[in-house]
Amino acid sequence: MLTGNTVVVKPAPTSPLNAMLLGEILHGILPPGVVNIVGDDGSLGPRLSSHPDVGKVSFTGSTAAGRQVMASGAPTLKRIVLELGGNDAAIVLDDADVESAAQGIFTWAFMNSGQVCINIKRIYVPDALYDRFCDAFAKLARSAVVGHGLDEKTEYGPIQNRRQYEAVLRSLDVARRDGTVIAGGEPAEGKGWFVPPTVVRDIDEASPLVREETFGPIRSILRYSSIDDAVRRANDTQYGLGGSVWGKDIERATRIAARLESGTTWVNTHFALAPDIPFGGRKQSGLGVEFGLDGIHEFTDRHVIHVARGG
């Protein structure tokens, strides 16, 4: 809208209500047709991304779905921004305060019950701190309150839909098979798609729980012996959305953060986004950026007018 475009918003079919509420807020404020919000059963996306009257597609979702969006926009050479999946790594340095780092990483690993692309999903801890960190992290998971979102005591809600809940249950099977579960590990009893924060240690790097994006409340803690090895393993992924480094020596942590192959890397925090700072991914975590002036420019086409005087 800031750049003079009209917009069609198509929310995910499993979570349309927040977009519909936005439509109610904008109704009567904007002229008809400026912002159009359309709910669907999941079939509308390909029609929109391939329609010749749509000049630009900005998509947030999984990497697999992003490939489909890119393919359907190819015949008309759509301008495309893709904000896709992530498998963010957090590297704990050997000078880190274990309790503080565990608390910070836990917060951003399980935000929204682990259902955010930019969640921390892999945690690399040096040998000397590994057992202490695992104990501190598992203690936080065991004390987390999972329940109904309208209960004031609730800290973590359910898995968003049945399909994803079933995927998380399969991931729990992988966790028990490939590692040692030290917190959680089973779905909550009773009604609803509730899974408590689950922590896995001593897991092999080749496990799909580590190699693939785990979109749910299951997190793996891996040990390392050298920082070069930790950086290499953190970068050994198809994803490149975000990452973080945790330690007391800020200059050292920042140098290591610069070596991570991700669109954004934080030091002693994670998930810190702001509307004036560009956000986007590398590798198969996306194309282009959101936010900031760069994000605004994504919704424009450059037009050069060259005037020759005289003649």
Q: Please give the full DSSP string across 166-191, using - where no structure is assigned.
A: HHHHHHHHHHHHHSEEEE--SPPSSS
Q: Please give the Cα distance from 132 to 28 (Å, whole number).
A: 57
Strands 242-246 and 264-267: parallel
State which amino acid sits at residue 91: I
CB 242 within 8 A of CB 258: no
Q: Please give the Cα distance from 274 to 116 (Å, whole number).
A: 16
239: part of which helix (H) or strand (E)? strand 239-240
Closest CA to 207 of 242, 180, 246: 180
Residue 198 gets the label, from left (phi > 0), alpha (psi -120 to 50) or beta, of beta
Phi, psi of 78 (to 5 degrees): -60, 145
State which amino acid sits at residue 203: I
The neighbouring-strand residues paired with 200 are: 181, 220
Name, in order, each residue with C-beta under 8 angstroms of 115's C-beta and a sequence gap of 6 or more: 159, 160, 164, 215, 216
The secondary structure of the chain in percent helix, strand, coil, rounded to multiples of 5, reads 35, 20, 45
Chain-centroid distance of CA 30 in Å reads: 31
- So which residues are the catalytic ones? 83, 117
